[in-house]
Amino acid sequence: MPRATAISLIVSFPEYTELVQEMVALVKEEISHFKLVHDKIIARGWTLGRDRKDSYVLEILKFFPKGGSRTTQLVHRLLYAALIEARSCERFRLLSEELKDKELAEFYKNLMISEANHYTMFLGFARKYGDRKEVDAKWQQLLEYESEIISNLGKTTAIENSKVIANILDSNKSAGLLYSTLNTQKVHKLLLDQEFKKLSKIKMAAHLCAAILINSL
């Protein structure tokens, strides 16, 4: 997802030189990550799985109205990218803590740090190119909208616990889950189960993604 988002931003908004430079760097970084992941998949005798539609992502996209000025469109795409990257950070944190394979756990920990940096970068650009107060208000609205999506996902589908996900990933049955095909819904339902009773819907995101997120919420 980050590679596609970065390339799309470059093509759609080439006049934003600083943004283009950062997106080029992001594409390079993500390609190197993908190569590392694919090498691990091959080493385990697996085959990369096909990507699948994600109900969470489809619902998030409905939050942003179509049309508007180019600046508005840019800000909306940056906020969307920031949220997805924050959730990737959460997903990798979960894997780094629950995987029995220590090598993979450390690998996902490093990915978590990278995703946290991506999150702050996208949010920072949104605040730079848009009106800061309007962007912050939109970000909070997006988080509140997302909390309802997570809540609904938790109600409509059985919640899976982290040990189940970890055991699946440690087996030889799930190459496709190793990277892009780890279903975001499953992780969100898990997060809901583990933390929803303790934290507010918005603060939960900061708590799970790491300290770097807290100051930006």
CATH 1.20.1260.10 fits 2-214, yes or no: yes
Within 10 Å of residue 88's Cβ, how many Cβ atoms?
23
The domain spans of the chain are: 2-214
pLDDT digits (tens, 9 = 90+) for 83-116: 999 998 888 999 999 999 898 899 999 889 887 8
**From the DSSP assignment, how many helices (H) and strands (E) are in the chain?**
10, 0
This prediction's pTM: 0.72
Supply the pLDDT for residue 214: 31
Long-range contacts of residues 194-199, Cβ cutoff 8 Å, at least 24 apart: 194/162, 196/151, 196/154
Q: How far apart are CA 179 and CA 34, in angstroms?
A: 8
Closest CA to 178 of 117, 104, 120, 113: 104
End-to-end Cα, the chain, rounded Å: 23
Q: Give the torsion through C-alpha atoms of 99, 100, 103, 107, to 10 deg.
A: 10
Supply the pLDDT for residue 51: 81
Supply the pLDDT for residue 34: 92
Please name the residue that has the structure tokens 């807290």.
214
Residues of the chain with pLDDT under 50: 157-217
Supply the pLDDT for residue 160: 44
